[in-house]
């Protein structure tokens, strides 16, 4: 499957991995904002962390999070988008996602060998930790792991995805985010070391 992505398509561009993760995170916070409809004071947020020494890239959002059904039927299936599901469309008639291809997680393996996903959909439930290795089609899913991993959620609901970029890959996440994330419609921050910066513009007028 990875060979198909790396062929004569736009997926021979390593920047697409971070683009897909960022767009998926934006969609997750958009869905939660849509569902809460301003009733809880929810502030949608996406944080991207880059450690150039360890080469760990972490994308965090305080969006809807995922349960087992979403993980098995959408996250781990190529070309399957939750936002195109008939039931989702019926319950979210005016929602438009920015992620299109349903292969966001798969693109991580263009730049990394292992991916960790920590996610939680309901505040009263335990988080799920998904560890995926080298596209062998095998994954380890663990429950009740909050004290057993240094990967953390942004809030009591949401998703954090971490991958270690392979050393031979020339990777500049700041440039990639500035190039792809133009109007995120949420708070979107990039962190490197002690430095943080806002990514994107508040509206089309500011962008132009």
Q: Cβ atoms within 10 A of the Cβ of 87, count?
A: 8
pLDDT tens column, 93-151:
888 777 655 556 778 888 898 899 999 998 888 889 888 876 566 667 676 565 456 88
Place of tokens 């569902």: 35
**Predicted pLDDT of residue 82:** 77
Q: What is the pLDDT of residue 85?
A: 75
| pLDDT greater at residue 143 or residue 92 | 92
Range 58-81 average pLDDT: 84
Res 187: pLDDT: 96
Q: What value, to the nearest 5°, has the Cα angle with vertex 32 and ends 56 and 111? A: 25
Q: How many residues does the chain have?
A: 208
Q: What is the mean pLDDT of the chain?
A: 83
Residue 18: pLDDT band with limits 50, 70, 90:
very high
The share of the chain scoring above pLDDT 70, in percent, equals 81
CB 22 within 8 A of CB 177: yes
Ramachandran bin of 200, using left for φ above 0, alpha for ψ from -120 to 50, beta for the remaining angles: left
Dmax over CA atoms of the chain, in Å, equals: 47
The pLDDT value recorded for residue 176 is 95
Spatial separation of the C-alpha atoms in residues 32 and 65, rounded to whole Å? 9
Residue scoring higher pLDDT (79 or 59): 59
CA dist., res. 184 & res. 27, Å (int):
9
DSSP per-residue letters across the chain: -HHHHHSSSGGGSTHHHHHHHHHHHHHHHHHHHHHHTTSS----EEEEEEETTTTEEEEEE-S----HHHIIIIITSTT--GGG-HHHHHHSTT---S--SS-TTGGGGGTEEEEEEEEESSTTSPPEEEEEETTSS-EEEEES-TTT-S---SSSSEEEEEEEE-TTS---HHHHHHHH-S--SSEEEEEETTEEEE-S-SSHHHH-
Beta-carbon-side half-sphere exposure of residue 161 (alpha carbons within 13 Å): 28
Q: What is the pTM (predicted TM-score) of this model? A: 0.87
Residue 22 has pLDDT above 80, yes or no: yes
């Amino acid at each position: 499957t990875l060979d198909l992505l790396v062929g004569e398509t736009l997926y021979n561009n390593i920047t697409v991995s971070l683009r897909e993760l960022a767009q998926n995170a934006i969609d997750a916070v958009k869905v939660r904002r849509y569902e809460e409809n301003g009733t809880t004071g929810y502030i949608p947020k996406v944080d991207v962390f880059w450690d150039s020494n360890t080469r760990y890239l972490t994308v965090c959002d305080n969006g809807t999070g995922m349960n087992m059904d979403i993980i098995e039927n959408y996250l781990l299936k190529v070309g399957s988008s939750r936002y195109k599901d008939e039931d989702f469309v019926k319950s979210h008639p005016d929602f438009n996602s920015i992620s299109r291809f349903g292969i966001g997680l798969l693109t991580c393996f263009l730049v990394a060998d292992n991916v960790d996903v920590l996610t939680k959909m309901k505040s009263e439930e335990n988080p799920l930790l998904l560890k995926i290795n080298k596209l062998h089609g095998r994954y380890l899913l663990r429950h009740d792991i909050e004290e057993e991993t240094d990967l953390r959620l942004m809030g009591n609901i949401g998703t954090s995805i971490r991958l270690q970029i392979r050393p031979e890959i020339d990777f500049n996440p700041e440039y990639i985010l500035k190039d792809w994330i133009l109007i995120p419609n949420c708070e979107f921050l990039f962190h490197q070391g002690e430095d943080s910066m806002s990514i994107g513009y508040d509206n089309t007028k500011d962008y132009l």
